[in-house]
Amino acid sequence: MRYFIKLSYNGFHFKGWQKQKNNKLTIEEEIENKISIILNKPINLIGASRTDSGVHAKLMFAHFDYNNTINKKKFLYKINLLISSYIIIYDLFKVKNNVHARFSAIYRIYKYIIGYKKNPFYKNLYWYWKYKNKLNINLMNKAINIIINRKNFILFSTTNKKLKNYNCNIYYAYWNKKNKYIYFIIKSNRFLRKMVRFIISLCIEIGLNKITIYDLKNKIKKKKIFFNINIPPYGLYLKKIKYNKNIFL
């Protein structure tokens, strides 16, 4: 039987979602180990997304296979006692055996937060903008409209030989300011490795007038976007993942 778990996590203290060979602490490994202890059997956990080191998730799903029926109430109680205090498992439910946490997702939404106001109680939960120069939101929205008006995003991600293509369907992306905070929202059927942070970094450069809209168009035309990330990961959140309702049993 295939089970889905629904969870959230503060990723600041972890080296990303995916397990690593160097034994660094990851969210996938932390949860996988604790579920294996509870079920008294090694399990393989597959996440819906592979968030980078320091990135948070307000909503994440993952699946694992187990042959017996699991008592949900007891499982949730035990798992939340055992796992890190920076992770919470909200729900456990059965799905069809061919449903995949990653490949069955319809879309994902990411959110990035920048704050002009310092707040020590929310440290490492948003990027505190301590610089004198303010960001030009209008320019940043012009930039993002140019960036997302395409299918292939190879210029906006790290290369990966395992990928068949670099195509993404971005439904929308925009910058918005509310009170002392700036928010970036982006929705797509898939995201490439480091794609979101690279796009945000590029918009920041334009919002500071370090790169012009003309420069951006020219680089895209000549296929000369140079990969550069200059933003902290802890401002980024995996906000939502959507599946078809017919996956559930």
The continuous run of DSSP H or E covering 174 comes out as: strand 170-178
Which region holds residue 125: left if phi is over 0, alpha if psi is between -120 and 50, else beta? alpha
Rounded Cα distance, 48 and 41, in Å? 22
Asked if residue 148 lies in contact with residue 173, where contact means CB atoms within 8 angstroms, the answer is: yes
DSSP assignment of 25-49 equals --HHHHHHHHHHHHHTS----EES-
Structure token pair of residue 226? 């140079």
Rounded Cα gap, residues 243 and 111, in angstroms = 19
Catalytic entry in 52, 65, 91, 215 = 52
d(CA 126, CA 135): 16
Q: How far apart are CA 207 and CA 188, in angstroms?
A: 23
Q: What are phi and psi of 233, to 5 degrees?
A: -70, -25
Q: Which two tokens stand for residue 80?
A: 């939340």
52 is catalytic: yes
d(CA 237, CA 120): 19
> Among all residues, which ones are annotated catalytic?
52
